Structure 1
């Protein structure tokens, strides 16, 4: 158990919040440069996995219960796909962001934020579910 490693636990407490903040930076910087939903989702999952490794899987499961992770997985996929469907309903093609706003440039910005958000949410939740699944095996 990690209760015998107080230095690792203290350093982890200091690092988890900046890791999550970096995930948000990568998420919202992804439409302007390298990064985006997939990378941000993995980085966010790493913060939860570090928490689980330092403070116990059962403690982490209380922070992110399985029902919430399943909901977030479905929500992320629906956000991604729903953005495409809204594009169709507004007269464009699937994932045609131009029709999401009166100004095509604004529509592009809104569309990529929604799609990358859906990808980030899905990737983070699936990575955490995979970790919890394998961590629970004996």
Structure 2
């Protein structure tokens, strides 16, 4: 699509969508949302960029190589956070029982490892959704079915 109106609106709205997605990720342990919902919102902003400006410019902004690295790093991050509890003699991903400080209830830095897990999940979901969208868009463009 080559619409100046779509590009102008997208340019104005994308930063706000991304900020809202980050907010949802960071406040998921306090309110509805979290890593999956926030990652989906952030990915939607990249998909909107791809739909507005084209697939090639969107890959320049968020290349496959970066998305693949993010996926690998976030999986490692998630597992390492889970292993912290194992090293402390508790079950995988145990939070309070492993002695991890939970902070003040209702504060942004609270919930022990949950905030860090939400961040990892947000990155993972965002990169996965964008890779899937890009793959389907390329397949549709090449005429493969």
Indicate the residue corresponding to 1:118 in structure 2. Answer: 120
The reply to whether residue 128 of structure 1 matches residue 135 of structure 2 is no
Give the structure with the higher percent helix: 1
What are the equivalent positions in structure 2 for 1:97-116 lying under 5 Å apart?
A: 97-98=95-96, 99=98, 101=100, 103=101, 105-106=102-103, 109-116=111-118
With over 3 angstroms needed to count, the CA separation of the structure-2 counterparts of 1:94 and 1:108, relative to structure 1, is farther
Tell me the distance in 2 between the aligned counterparts of 1:65 and 1:133: 12
Query: Secondary structure, in 3 states, of the residue corresponding to 1:113?
Result: helix
With over 3 angstroms needed to count, the CA separation of the structure-2 counterparts of 1:73 and 1:37, relative to structure 1, is same
Of 53-62 and 71-80, deviating more is 71-80
Tell me the distance in 2 between the aligned counterparts of 1:19 and 1:28: 14
Unaligned stretches of 5+ in structure 2?
Answer: 104-108
Indicate the residue corresponding to 1:27 in structure 2. Answer: 25
Deviation at residue 18 of structure 1 after TM alignment: 0.3
**Count of aligned residue pairs for this structure pair:** 134
Structure 1 consecutive aligned stretches of length 4 or more whose deviation exceeds 6 Å: none
Q: Normalization by structure 1: what TM-score?
A: 0.91
With over 3 angstroms needed to count, the CA separation of the structure-2 counterparts of 1:81 and 1:100, relative to structure 1, is farther
Tell me the distance in 1 between the aligned counterparts of 2:40 and 2:77: 18
Tell me the distance in 1 between the aligned counterparts of 2:53 and 2:99: 44
Indicate the residue corresponding to 1:55 in structure 2. Answer: 53
What are the equivalent positions in structure 2 for 1:54-93 lying under 5 Å apart?
A: 54-93=52-91
Query: Secondary structure, in 3 states, of the residue corresponding to 2:113?
Result: helix
Which of these residues, 42, 45, 55, is aligned with residue 43 of structure 2?
45
Q: Normalization by structure 2: what TM-score?
A: 0.86
